[in-house]
Amino acid sequence: MLITFLTSAVLVTSVLLVLSNLGTVADDTSKALRGAMQRLRSQGAMASWVAFAVLWVTIFALGFL
C-alpha cells in the first residue's frame, strides 16, 4: 500500500510540474521538432526516418488491437 501511495504521489507531482510549465514544455518541444526536421531535410534521410516512424506506429497500433 505504501509503494502504491508513493508512486501515485510521484505521478501526481510530475503531472503538476509539467502542467505548471506547459508553455515552456510546448516551446522546447516545438524547437526540438523543428531542429530535427531541418537536420533530416539537410541530410536527405527524410524517407528512411518516415518509414521507420511508420513502422513503429504500426507495431504499436497492432499491439493495441
* Mean pLDDT within 11-25: 89
Which domain range does residue 44 map to? 2-64
Residue closest to 40 by CA, chosen among 27, 28, 24, 53: 53
Q: What is the pLDDT of residue 54?
A: 92
DSSP calls for 32-58: HHHHHHHHHHHHT-HHHHHHHHHHHHH
Task: State the cell numbers at 52.
Answer: 521507420
How far does CA 42 lie from the centroid of its chain? 23
Residue 65 predicted with pLDDT over 80: no
In terms of pTM, does the model score above 0.85? no
Residue 4 predicted with pLDDT over 80: yes
Q: How many domains does the chain have?
A: 1
Residue 12 predicted with pLDDT over 90: yes
Q: How does pLDDT run across 21-56, given as a tens digit for each residue?
A: 888 888 998 999 899 888 878 877 777 888 888 999
